[in-house]
A and B are shown apart, each in its own frame.
Chain A
């Protein structure tokens, strides 16, 4: 957002909110109060001529803003390409979510799309593609959340490649990039996040939710230092990176946060061992996993 774009959007917004405080404007546009005052100062010197009625007339004293003459700029300009795409993609994402997750009827979302269709400079080309909405599982989770009951389900943990029965007090159901997730308290373990697509054989059980720890506390993670060849720095996209910097020897050093050493070992193997673990204790554990994997593919010894 540059200042010009902000001013064009701000003027009609201010016109529709006469007397709004400097703080509210700053909060809404996520700028400082000083920037709000500077924006008002700039607007107050704009206009189309020298006469009073040709000047933009704004009063921003006493921490309140009144626009007395906005020189015809009381309606917002059309959405630009980014705003239009954001709006359409946001609507498409909502329409592809099960109603239990979005809370909206697809009929209403369609009506909104129809109403704005004349105002957006884009009619197609932004899409949210859904393969499997896991509707039955989402319905069960939604029911448990509404009733305040616990859930049991089989959960496949891709990091460990195992399936275990879980008993969970559900806390919240949400999506990130259309991937549905459940946060909940797993009894006997602690707070966990579950990917809905990895849940199977789910049942609502007649036991009230019980968050043994009252404060939501995501799964514990810890920091690990790794090194990656610069030419393979794309591998970082798989990690939660705390910090990274180029080291002297054409490598990139990074500090990442992980929850399980086994998961990191899988990343090392999948990367063709391009990732070197620098944290000594973790490196020893990862090396054990790598050695176990190599034992399954011994032909390399004779081949090389």
Chain B
């Protein structure tokens, strides 16, 4: 069984006939404040061939596509029959007025996604903002995100408060583990992208580097199935707080070398002399490879356990 088997997938949408049916459906459901029954919809919207089970399936699928696009149908019951409609007042953007400075800010926020997979989403966002009056000639990409991962499913799970499923590779490990996350948020810190929330399998709050997600995301479960909790992101995302094990280590530093470790040891004086320093390693996943890379200008001499870890790396034993 594949990792994603059994997960709910978003329906594909490539067929022109489906697009035409959906546009017609939206036009119809926004055209009357009284709404339409399923039978009326089947009769008025080309593409719904009959009012039987096939039509039911097509209509449910179309409702789901509209919901993904944040277009929610109201379903008032009249005389034992559902009448479906879309309220333009609640489904469309409200009147918003922005100063020219604010319009530049909105434009800058959309331009931030120019170098990402979300570029096309940002284009639609921009079109919507322009349709309600945003006029800005700003071209400079100020915030400038760069991330080679499609975040659409992540954002969808976050907004809908559903479970985000993915396979994750921990630092330094080749194997992946399956995760089911109550996603509470997405964060950018020091150039890295993270998602965080409650890992349902481990029943604990966890943070995941998006670059270490292997394969694609999927979303399962009911909407609004949990309530995100407030967390101290600076603490949660600090690598030093993510590893439980820490080591007091002794390092020999060559003259003029080991700037990272001198800084960690609090050495502010001239670095033109070789030094022996003591530092505490709190982020082994990053610090051990860094020690291997810094050899021979930086050499760990104690404890033996850490010496062995670095030795294994430089000799390619793990």
Contacts and interface: CB of A to CB of B under 8 A. Distances in A.
Real binding pair: yes
Interface stretch (B1-9, B53-61, B183-191, B274-282): B183-191
A4 B113 CA distance: 21
Given A15-B131, A72-B88, A1 B123 contact: yes
A4 B148 CA distance: 25
A18 interface: no
Contact of A71 (B27, B119, B159): B27
Contacts of B94: 118-119
Given A80-B68, A93-B143, A94-B143, A122 B26 contact: no
Contacts of B93: 75-79, 119
Contact of A125 (B88, B106, B228, B295): B228
Given A77-B71, A80-B68, A115-B98, A297 B184 contact: no
A293 B13 contact: no
A234 interface: yes
Contacts of B18: 4
Nearest to B176: A234
B187 A128 contact: yes
Contacts of B110: 86-87, 90
Contacts, number: 342
Most B Cβ at <10 Å: residue of A82, A124, A297? A82
Nearest to B290: A270
Contacts of A300: 311, 315, 317
B118 A297 contact: no
Interface in B73-118: 88, 91-94, 96-99, 101-102, 104-106, 108-113, 118
A178 B191 contact: yes
A83 interface: yes
Contacts of B147: 177
B294 A3 contact: no
Interface stretch (B198-206, B241-249, B257-265): B257-265
Contacts of B181: none
A5 B159 contact: no
A273 interface: yes
Nearest to A177: B191
A49 interface: yes
A75 B296 contact: no
B27 A270 contact: no
Contact of A121 (B27, B159, B292): B159
Contact of A72 (B27, B99, B108, B189): B27
Interface residues of B, number: 114
Most B Cβ at <10 Å: residue of A73, A118, A161? A161
B226 interface: no
A244 interface: no
Interface stretch (A6-14, A142-150, A214-222, A245-253): A6-14
B92 A86 contact: no
Contacts of B294: 161, 266
A268 to B, nearest CB: 9
Contact of B295 (A97, A273, A296): A296
A173 to B, nearest CB: 11
A90 B143 contact: yes
B151 to A, nearest CB: 7
Given A12-B128, A71-B27, A234-B169, A82 B96 contact: no
A258 interface: no
B50 interface: no
A124 B228 contact: yes
A3 B130 CA distance: 19
A121 B296 contact: no
B174 A111 contact: no
B188 A128 contact: yes
A141 interface: no
Contacts of B189: 128-131, 178
Contacts of B267: none
Given A28-B123, A85-B186, A234 B13 contact: no
B212 interface: yes
A140 interface: no
A234 B176 CA distance: 11
Given A2-B14, A162-B256, A299 B127 contact: no
Interface string A111-143: 110011011011011111111000000000000
14 contacts: A10-B127, A46-B27, A72-B31, A76-B132, A77-B93, A82-B156, A86-B125, A87-B106, A87-B110, A94-B142, A108-B101, A116-B96, A130-B189, A296-B296
The 7 closest A-B pairs by CB, nearest first: A90-B109, A273-B316, A81-B159, A270-B289, A296-B296, A1-B120, A266-B293
Interface of B: 13-14, 16, 18-20, 22-24, 26-28, 30-31, 44, 65, 68-71, 88, 91-94, 96-99, 101-102, 104-106, 108-113, 118-125, 127-128, 130-133, 141-147, 151-152, 155-156, 158-160, 169, 174, 183-193, 211-212, 214, 228, 233-234, 237, 256-260, 271, 289-290, 292-299, 307, 310-318
Interface of A: 1-10, 12-13, 15-16, 28-30, 42-43, 45-49, 56, 71-73, 75-87, 89-91, 93-94, 97, 101-105, 108-109, 111-112, 115-116, 118-119, 121-122, 124-131, 156, 158, 161-163, 174-179, 231-232, 234, 237, 265-267, 269-274, 290, 292-297, 299-300, 303-304
Given A16-B131, A293-B292, 14 more contacts: A3-B13, A4-B65, A8-B23, A48-B44, A89-B112, A89-B186, A94-B108, A129-B188, A177-B144, A177-B147, A234-B174, A234-B212, A272-B292, A296-B296
